[in-house]
Amino acid sequence: MPCVIPGLTQNVCLTIIYNVSSQKLKDSFVQCVNSEQGETCDLEVNYNPVNTDLTIRVPFTIEGELTFTDNFQAFCVTTGVNITT
């Protein structure tokens, strides 16, 4: 009988760096936000006129459930992605 752990949540911060001049995505990454350690992620948009990079940071809350099977394999399913306000 598998073991299912529902209701897991994690706050994350999505950062997108887009170069306006070249019209290309330079980088994007997700970072975990640990609010217990005072970490925060706020909705933020910055433009650097020198290198024409547009940086966008968006806070999300990811919801999911973890399942352990009879042969000790683990599977995680994302059940929700919500913008944190």
Q: What is the mean pLDDT of the chain?
A: 95
Q: Tens of pLDDT along 19-58?
A: 999 999 999 999 999 988 889 999 999 999 999 999 999 9
Cα–Cα distance measured from residue 24 to residue 7, given in angstroms and rounded to the nearest whole number: 37
The neighbour count for residue 63, using CB atoms within 10 Å, is 16
- pLDDT attached to residue 35: 82
Sign of CA dihedral 60, 28, 24, 46: positive
Whether the model clears a pTM of 0.85, i.e. scores above it, the answer is no
85 pLDDT above the threshold of 80: no
